[in-house]
A and B are shown apart, each in its own frame.
Chain A
Amino acid sequence: MIQRSEKVMLEVTTDWYLTLAAILFSIGFLGMMIRKNALIMFMCIELMLNAVNLTFISASKHFGQVDGQIFVFFILVVAAAEVVVGLAIIVSIFRKQSSASVDVLNVSRG
């Protein structure tokens, strides 16, 4: 028998997924903090949602339980609904001021 070293391939553990999710979430959050285009911010929110989805699925896989995956379906549905509302809002903002910048929308400042 030929002894083949099979340790070359790195095992993709749950930690990797979680780290990826954390990185994605941070990117989304950073984007929320520094960008002012409403569309980009919206995409950042989606990014964060998907990071959370990834966390749920990895945890589900790790513990061998299915409820995390069920949660993801809920989040997807809510996100889809939210996209509809959110895009509509963005369109109306764009129509009003012919740019999608949110910094102009500061009427509720103290």
Chain B
Amino acid sequence: MYQEVKLELIFLLPIFLPFLTAIFLFLNKKLFNELITNFFTLNSALLAFVIAAYSFIALALDKFKPVNVELFQWISNPDISIGFTLDGLSGIMLILVTGLSFVIQLFSTSYMEKDENHCNYFVYFNFFVFSMLLLVMSSNFLVMFFGWELVGLSSYLLISFWSKKPAAAKAGNKAFVINRVGDFGFLIGLMIILDTFNTFDFYKILQNTSGIAESTITAISLFLMLGAFGKSAQFPLFSWLPDAMEGPTPASALIHAATMVTAGVFMLVRISPLLQHSKIASLLIIIFGLITALLAAFSAINQFDIKKVLAYSTISQLGFMFIAIGAGAYVAAIFHLVTHAFFKALLFLGAGAVIHSMHHEQDIRKMGGLRKKMPITASMMGIGTLAISGIPPLAGFWSKDEILASVFVNGGIYYVFWALTLGAAFLTAFYMGRHWLLIFEKDNGFEHPDVAEAPKAMTRPLLLLGIFSIFIGFINTPFFHGLEKVLHVTLENVEVTHLPKGITLVVLAVLSIGAGFTGLIIAFLLFGMELHKRIDLKKFKLESPINLVKDLSSNVLYLNKFGNLFFVSGMKNLSRKVAVVVDGMLIDGSVNFVSTAFNKSSKITSTTQTGLVRNYVVYFGLFLLLLIALFIATPLVPR
């Protein structure tokens, strides 16, 4: 009992600590210089992480029995309260968010050095961490929705952090608006939930799924899925994420790679007891996940902005997580979320270090040959590249292999899905290999005399994340189901797709490793050895198809233009028509009618005002006569 009460109080601390830090820094931002700001924000982040780790260990000792704290009940019927929960799922996210927040803030202190809004950056950053923890630690949909909206806000603030750049301001707006589309679906889903279950509490909802009609569950799942698509940048709603790269690179690392964009995955795993009852929703999730994974991987092939490649790669990896959810492999989805968080944060911070050393040059065509100048960054980004490509024994291999195997084991149409996922994994290895080679290896004929290794405050986080990117995969291997044990209680009533046994698993693993290696080797042949320059492309009539692929890739299959044409222009035309018909004709018309009516009638009556005194006297006399006539005609009434 003693233990329980203590834990309940303690795990709330990391949630509100960043919030207090944000307020504290905001209030004192004129007072503090960079050093003091760094001191407070780093110590608060470290403290939050230590407490989070302590809570997680205490939870582990208690066999991951969920701990619930209800702060207060807001409305008793329907049952709406403000509460938090610490179970396996939220515990993992708690550690992940606070840990990465500390590492990335350490990196930020150097990256944001001498920025005029240095303190504001950390205010927003801490505010984001608070919002994200609110999202993941909530014990009901309402608090989750608060966090959901707040991460959108803080993401907006950080994307348009350098708001003097028009592109940054625009990108922030775009992210916010597209996220609203998803949030709209999320909100409708919440309304259906409240109508069906009369409560927002996860445990009350997720344990009472048996008596609910499948159509209702499907409706809820589909609307929540839309919310997840918006936040996690899935196929129709993904175009905001590449634009979001206008923000500071460390913020992109935490928000647009490691944590916020995975909120959709987290939420879908959270509602997995509902989701498993809806075959349609699961099928749609896996299809959209596949489209996203392939499309984003394809788009990443011919990007030249160092961060945009990583952005498309993030979208693609999020697609993998959605594939896992659609295949019922919820543990694999969370596993990939965790590993991806580490190696993608590593890659982003590495990109940040490169950008910093290159004096804010982001075009990878102007880099090349940086390996000798920045050996630590190059090797750490190499580890990240190998990890995301799925090369054993690095982190990405274990999680990606688990996803692939889980898709395969479902059978039927899922064999096709498996093959396509494998294709996406191959593309991943290819574009990541290209990315690394173009930055660090290939000689582009540019001299970089003043480029040197990034400062220690940058390389140390890189080293730390590099070590994690190698070893984090071992938390859930086919031989050691660590993550499954952590999530066991959370996913108690859920049928999780298990890995195939024996030789099938080995064959699948070999195939996935093969895809990764093939991708890397082809990337090396093309961009390391420049094979395409040695063969005569015209002889094989390959030039035009290659150019077509390049064109389609760098324009994202022209989806942005398509969306612009259909949604933006269509909406503009519609609103123009509304402006003309409703506003111009109806509203302006009625207002104008009133004014012209008065104008005309007063014109008519004003003709009696001749300005001649004699005429007025005549009117006066006439009315006098009328009065006298009335006086005479009215019979005297006796009192």
A residues near B, CB below 8 A?
A: 29, 32-36, 41, 102-103, 105-110
Q: Is B621 an interface residue (CB 8 A)?
A: yes
A67 nearest CB across to chain B (Å): 22
Query: Considering the complex, which residues of chain B in the window 598-639 have a beta carbon less than 8 Å from any beta carbon of chain A?
Result: 605-614, 617-618, 621
B396 nearest CB across to chain A (Å): 88
Indicate which residue in B606, B608, B610 contacts A106 across the interface (CB closer than 8 Å).
Answer: B610
6 A-B pairs with the lowest CB-CB distances in the bound complex, closest first: A110-B606, A106-B611, A109-B611, A110-B609, A32-B617, A102-B613
CB-defined A-B contacts under 8 Å, sample of 20 = A29-B617, A32-B613, A32-B614, A32-B617, A36-B614, A41-B613, A102-B612, A103-B612, A103-B614, A105-B611, A106-B610, A106-B611, A107-B611, A108-B609, A109-B611, A109-B612, A110-B606, A110-B607, A110-B608, A110-B611
Inter-chain CA distance A35–B613, complex, in Å, is 10
B261 nearest CB across to chain A (Å): 71
Question: What mask results when residues 436 to 450 of chain B are scored 1 for a CB within 8 Å of chain A, else 0?
Answer: 000000000000000
A103 CB contacts on chain B under 8 angstroms:
612, 614
Total inter-chain residue pairs, C-beta < 8 Å: 37
B residues near A, CB below 8 A?
A: 605-614, 617-618, 621
Inter-chain CA distance A30–B618, complex, in Å, is 9
Indicate which residue in B609, B614, B618 contacts A109 across the interface (CB closer than 8 Å).
Answer: B609
B390 nearest CB across to chain A (Å): 90
If A33-B614, A106-B612 are given as contacts, then 16 extra A-B residue pairs at C-beta distance below 8 Å, sorted by A number, are: A29-B621, A32-B617, A33-B621, A35-B614, A36-B614, A41-B613, A102-B612, A105-B611, A105-B613, A106-B610, A106-B611, A107-B611, A108-B609, A108-B611, A110-B607, A110-B608
A101 nearest CB across to chain B (Å): 10
Chain A residue at smallest Cβ distance from B603: A110
A106 CB contacts on chain B under 8 angstroms:
610-612
B612 CB contacts on chain A under 8 angstroms:
102-103, 106, 109
A32 CB contacts on chain B under 8 angstroms:
613-614, 617
B345 nearest CB across to chain A (Å): 80
A81 nearest CB across to chain B (Å): 21
A108 CB contacts on chain B under 8 angstroms:
609, 611
A24 nearest CB across to chain B (Å): 15
B19 nearest CB across to chain A (Å): 70
A41 CB contacts on chain B under 8 angstroms:
613
A33 CB contacts on chain B under 8 angstroms:
614, 617-618, 621
Inter-chain CA distance A102–B613, complex, in Å, is 7
Inter-chain CA distance A105–B617, complex, in Å, is 15
B611 nearest CB across to chain A (Å): 3
Inter-chain CA distance A34–B617, complex, in Å, is 10
B618 nearest CB across to chain A (Å): 6
Chain B residue at smallest Cβ distance from A107: B611
Chain B residue at smallest Cβ distance from A103: B612
Inter-chain CA distance A35–B612, complex, in Å, is 11
Does B613 contact A109, Cβ atoms closer than 8 Å? no
Inter-chain CA distance A41–B614, complex, in Å, is 9
Inter-chain CA distance A107–B614, complex, in Å, is 14
Does A34 contact B621, Cβ atoms closer than 8 Å? no
Inter-chain CA distance A36–B612, complex, in Å, is 9
B618 CB contacts on chain A under 8 angstroms:
33
Chain B residue at smallest Cβ distance from A106: B611
Inter-chain CA distance A9–B618, complex, in Å, is 41
Inter-chain CA distance A11–B617, complex, in Å, is 37
Inter-chain CA distance A33–B617, complex, in Å, is 6
B602 nearest CB across to chain A (Å): 8
Does B614 contact A34, Cβ atoms closer than 8 Å? yes
B606 CB contacts on chain A under 8 angstroms:
110
B614 CB contacts on chain A under 8 angstroms:
32-36, 102-103
A105 CB contacts on chain B under 8 angstroms:
611, 613
A102 CB contacts on chain B under 8 angstroms:
612-614
A42 nearest CB across to chain B (Å): 11
B344 nearest CB across to chain A (Å): 79
Chain A CB within 10 A, most for which of B609, B610, B613, B618: B613
Chain A residue at smallest Cβ distance from B624: A29
Inter-chain CA distance A107–B610, complex, in Å, is 9
Inter-chain CA distance A56–B451, complex, in Å, is 113
B626 nearest CB across to chain A (Å): 15
A29 CB contacts on chain B under 8 angstroms:
617, 621
Inter-chain CA distance A102–B612, complex, in Å, is 7
Chain A residue at smallest Cβ distance from B609: A110
A32 nearest CB across to chain B (Å): 5
Inter-chain CA distance A60–B436, complex, in Å, is 120
B613 CB contacts on chain A under 8 angstroms:
32, 41, 102, 105
Inter-chain CA distance A107–B365, complex, in Å, is 81
Inter-chain CA distance A41–B618, complex, in Å, is 13
A35 nearest CB across to chain B (Å): 8
Inter-chain CA distance A103–B617, complex, in Å, is 13
A35 CB contacts on chain B under 8 angstroms:
614
A34 CB contacts on chain B under 8 angstroms:
614
